[in-house]
Amino acid sequence: MSKFESLNTAAFEEIVENDGEKCLVMFSRKSCTVCQSVHAKLEALKDDYPSVPFYEVDVEEQPRLMAKQHLKGVPQTLFFADGEARSRITGDASEDDFADRIEGL
């Protein structure tokens, strides 16, 4: 399984918050099985949305980013535009659910 570009705190602030680009950020960790399912789905969707980059935050490496978003538990997929989380999917969902949120940005 390939990975999405991973973000640390500095990169998150620069890309997501300051640049304000439309993007998807998946909060996950290696040992979580549901994260693998969500990752596989996003992977299949990625090519359909070349203008919306997909990023990943490893919450074990970046616990502060998680706390900042008031997140507890993984996987959580956040959809950002203009530096703000516009919506969030907790846990697993269908490809359509993820696609709808991306298109809603």
Partner 1 sequence: MDEYYDLIVIGGGPAGLAAGIYGGRARLKTLVLEKGNVGGRVYDTREIVNYPSVEHSSGPDLMAKMAEHARAFGADIRQQTVRSVDFSSDDKIVNVRKATYHAKAVVLATGTSPRVLGIPGEKEFAGRGVSYCATCDAEFYQDEDVVVLGSGDQAIEESEFIAKFARSVTIVVVHDEGVLDCNKLAAEQALKNPKLRFLFNSTIAEVYGRDEVEGVKVKDVRTDEARDLPCQGVFFFCGMVPATDFLGDQVPRDPRGWLRTGDDMDLGVGGVFAAGDVRQKYLRQVATAVGDGAAAATAAERYIAEMEQFRADVLESDEPVLLGFWDPGLPGSMEALGELRARNRRLEKPLRFLEFDVNLKRGIASKYGIALNEQNKAQVVRENGRQG
Quick one: angle between helices 95-103 and 33-46, nearest 10? 60
Q: Which two tokens stand for residue 48?
A: 């359909």
Q: Does 25 bind partner 1 (CB under 8 A)?
A: no
Binding mask 46-85 for partner 1 (x = CB under 8 A): ------------------------xxxxxxx---------
CB nearer partner 1, residue 21 or residue 45: 45
Interface with partner 1: number of residues (CB under 8 A) = 24
Alpha-carbon gap, residue 90 to 82, rounded angstroms = 21
